[in-house]
């Protein structure tokens, strides 16, 4: 918990740093970009030299965030990203807790002998930083980051730009406060952010209601033609090949949220979504209740995450990946039902 962190030494670590680089996870989502950019603005307001280096591109629906255009994408500009990293004397890891989550950037990060801070809300953290702010019960890394900065006495440096970013991550990681958000503290944090004069409705509009026509057609295709039910396991899954993605002019972020739709079906408590990506299959899992998709993903799809939201990957073909899911899920489900996990 935050209470147990030595805030004065954390503050000193940040104050002593000349150049701070913030790193979100691969394929950063609203929480990863929100926490990166929120911290970026606050540290800038404090007078720090600061950069965000992202392992890969962020989705288009987050491009409105102030500072997003200044984030350096390692896949797009590897040399620039490496130069920035080598000039840093403090790294801040946000929204991930094992270096594998930074993809090919991991190799570069491992070469650096600098201080590191981690701010994250996933369970089972690896010891990847000297200061580990790891609170799995927190709604989002954004909530945790805002809380941490406030506890350091820097609430006044959280301007409306930072507040917009932090609010975005809380909103996207909780399905607009519909899950993972029953702790009154989350609402206190949201109240604090609203007091910074952010336009909450505008953020909602920009993130959820700014779809491209092709993304809506792709959603129609996947729900209309690709949704398969496994009623005995209270499960449903969908998959998309790279050919299908190409046919719908796929852009990064277009499939964000697709995996949640099957949970809208009565009796379905587990959902899986598979898509071909860069020669591998990206897997996404969601559940309602106690079914631990993070353990399922860790066991069979080299992944992890939260109990109700996890991801992973497969080097098998899309077809074989789906076959593996159809074979392994019933076995895992049986164990879950018998309390044998």
Q: List residues near ligand 5GP by CB under 6 A.
A: 25, 29, 101, 259, 284, 303-306, 309-313
DSSP string, 238-282: EEE-HHHHHHTT--TTTTTTGGGGGGGSTT--EEEEEEEETTEEE
43 CB contacts (<8 Å, ≥6 apart)? 14, 20, 22, 50
Smaller CB distance to Mn ion: residue 115 or 172?
Answer: 172
Beta bridge partners of residue 98, listed in sequence order: none
* 270 vs 309, beta carbon nearer ligand 5GP: 309
Q: Is 95 in the site for Mn ion (CB under 5 A)?
A: yes
- Identify residues 298-327 at the interface with Mn ion (CB under 5 A): none
Q: Smallest gap, in angstroms, from Cβ of residue 151 to Mn ion? A: 19
The answer to whether 256 contacts Mn ion (rule: CB under 5 A) is no
How far apart, in whole angstroms, are the C-alpha atoms of residue 81 and residue 22?
Answer: 11
- 152 vs 275 by CB, closer to ligand 5GP: 275
- Name residue, tokens 């969601």: 286
Contacts of 49 (CB under 8 A, 6+ apart): 18, 19, 20
Question: What is the DSSP secondary structure assignment for residue 155, as one 8-state letter?
Answer: G
If binding is defined by CB under 5 A, does position 254 make contact with Mn ion? no
Closer residue to ligand 5GP, CB minimum distance, 29 or 244 = 29
By CB under 5 A, how many residues form the interface with Mn ion?
4
Give counts: helices (H), strands (E), the chain. Answer: 12, 12
Report if residue 120 touches Mn ion, rule: CB under 5 A: no
The residue among 95 and 164 lying less far from Mn ion, judged by its C-beta, is 95
Give the Cβ contact number of residue 11 at 10 Å: 14
Q: In the bound complex, what is the minimum distance in angstroms from residue 305's beta carbon to ligand 5GP?
A: 3
Residue 303 binding result from Mn ion, ligand 5GP, none, given CB thresholds of 5 to 8 Å by partner type: ligand 5GP
Q: Report in angstroms how near the CB of residue 1 gets to ligand 5GP at its nearest.
A: 20
Partner whose binding site includes residue 164, from Mn ion, ligand 5GP, none (CB under 5 to 8 Å by kind)? none
With CA atoms as reference, report the closest residue to 264 among 331, 202, 304, 219.
219
State the residue number with the nearest CB to ligand 5GP: 311
- Residue 322 interacting entry, from Mn ion, ligand 5GP, none, C-beta within 5 to 8 Å by type: none
**173 counts as binding Mn ion under rule CB under 5 A:** yes
The site partner of 244 among ligand 5GP, Mn ion, none (C-beta below 5 to 8 Å per kind) is none
Query: Which residue number is nearest to Mn ion in terms of Cβ?
Result: 31
Q: How far is the CB of 55 from ligand 5GP (least distance, A)?
A: 12
| Strand locations in the chain (E) | 19-23, 49-54, 72-73, 90-94, 115-120, 131-134, 228-230, 235-240, 270-277, 280-287, 304-305, 309-314
Q: Please report how close the Cβ of residue 271 comes to Mn ion at its closest, in angstroms.
A: 18
Nearer to Mn ion, 193 or 235 (CB): 193
CB hemisphere CA count around 88 (13 angstroms):
27
* 131-134 β-sheet, strand order: 72-73, 49-54, 19-23, 90-94, 115-120, 131-134
**CA-to-CA dists, residue 234 to 4, 37, 43, 175, 293, angstroms:** 40, 38, 46, 21, 13
Identity of the residue, 300 or 306, whose beta carbon is nearer to ligand 5GP in the bound complex: 306
Residue pair 199/75 in contact (Cβ under 8 Å)? The answer is no
**Closer to Mn ion at the Cβ: 32 or 72?**
32
* DSSP for residue 128: -
Restricting to residues 27-46, which ones interact with Mn ion according to CB under 5 A? 31
116 vs 306 by CB, closer to ligand 5GP: 306
Strand partners, 19: 49
Nearest CA to 159 out of 34, 318, 45 is that of 45
The binding track of 141-170 with respect to Mn ion, each residue x by CB under 5 A or -, is x-----------------------------
Using CB under 5 A as the criterion, which residues of the chain lie in contact with Mn ion when the complex forms?
A: 31, 95, 141, 173
């Amino acid at each position: 918990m935050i209470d147990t962190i030595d805030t004065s030494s954390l503050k000193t670590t940040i104050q002593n740093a000349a150049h701070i680089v913030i790193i979100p996870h691969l394929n950063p989502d609203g929480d990863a970009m929100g926490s990166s950019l929120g911290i970026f603005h606050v540290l800038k307001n404090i007078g720090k030299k600061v950069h965000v280096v992202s392992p890969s591109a962020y989705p288009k629906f987050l491009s409105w965030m102030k500072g997003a255009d200044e984030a350096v994408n390692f896949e797009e500009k590897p040399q620039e990203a490496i130069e920035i990293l080598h000039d840093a004397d403090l790294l801040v890891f946000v929204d991930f807790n094992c270096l594998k989550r930074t993809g090919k950037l991991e190799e570069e990060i491992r070469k650096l002998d600098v201080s590191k801070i981690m701010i994250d809300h996933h369970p089972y953290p690896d010891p990847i930083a000297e200061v580990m702010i790891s609170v799995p019960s927190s709604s989002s890394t954004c909530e945790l980051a805002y809380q941490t900065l406030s506890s350091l006495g820097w609430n006044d440096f959280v301007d409306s730009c930072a507040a917009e970013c932090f609010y975005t991550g809380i909103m996207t990681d909780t399905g607009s406060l519909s899950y993972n958000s029953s702790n009154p503290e989350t609402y206190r944090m949201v109240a604090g952010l609203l007091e910074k004069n952010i336009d909450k409705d505008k953020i909602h509009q920009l993130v959820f209601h700014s779809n491209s026509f092709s993304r809506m057609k792709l959603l129609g295709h996947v729900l209309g033609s690709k949704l398969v039910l496994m009623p005995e396991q209270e499960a449903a899954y969908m998959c998309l090949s790279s050919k299908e993605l190409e046919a719908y002019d796929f852009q990064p972020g277009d499939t964000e949220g697709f995996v949640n739709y099957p949970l809208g079906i009565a009796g379905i408590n587990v959902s899986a979504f598979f898509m071909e990506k860069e020669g591998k299959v990206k897997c996404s899992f969601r559940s309602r209740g106690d079914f631990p998709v993070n353990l399922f993903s860790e066991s069979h799809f080299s992944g992890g995450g939260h109990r109700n939201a996890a991801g992973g990957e497969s080097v098998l073909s899309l077809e074989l990946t789906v076959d593996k899911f159809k074979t392994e899920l019933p076995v895992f489900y049986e164990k879950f039902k018998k309390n044998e996990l």
